[in-house]
Amino acid sequence: MDLSVLAAESGMSVGEAFSISSTGMIVVLIVLIVLAVLVLLISKGVRAAQGKGQQSEEEATAAPTTPVSVAQSAAPAPAAPVVNGTPLPENQSAGQLELYDCDEKSAAVIMAIISNESGIPLNHLEFKSIKAIEE
């Protein structure tokens, strides 16, 4: 069937049909652009709100800790940890580690393996306790 026959049956010319369809496509594109901009603005707002929330949680949960000496570790820390804004000496830690049925050398190896496998520097990890499990 020819386009002119369809246009004649519907009572509009081919030019009017193209005009209406192009107007519809332009409206759809404008709405899509507006939606994309809204999504970007909302995502930036959510990220900003999450950043502020995390900062306030960190400030609220930051308790002063007393540094204790660290056992020999298998992997040296790349940078000195910081407690309350002051860097600790290389032989100091920001927490205390409880060992259950595990010697210090094995604990150091376990901590080094976890740091290596996770890709997180050892001074950014906090170990509360290590317990040997018999299988």
| Residue 31: exposure state from Cβ atoms within 10 A (0-12, 13-18, ≥19) | exposed
pLDDT tens digits, 64-119: 444 444 444 444 545 555 555 666 555 555 567 788 888 888 888 888 898 888 88
| Among 21-25, 32-36, 95-99, 116-120, the least confident range | 95-99
Residue 104: what pLDDT? 86
Q: Determine what percent of the chain is predicted with pLDDT higher than 90.
A: 22
Check: CB of residue 73 under 8 Å from CB of residue 111. yes
Residue 84: what pLDDT? 54
| Among 16-20, 29-33, 34-38, the least confident range | 16-20
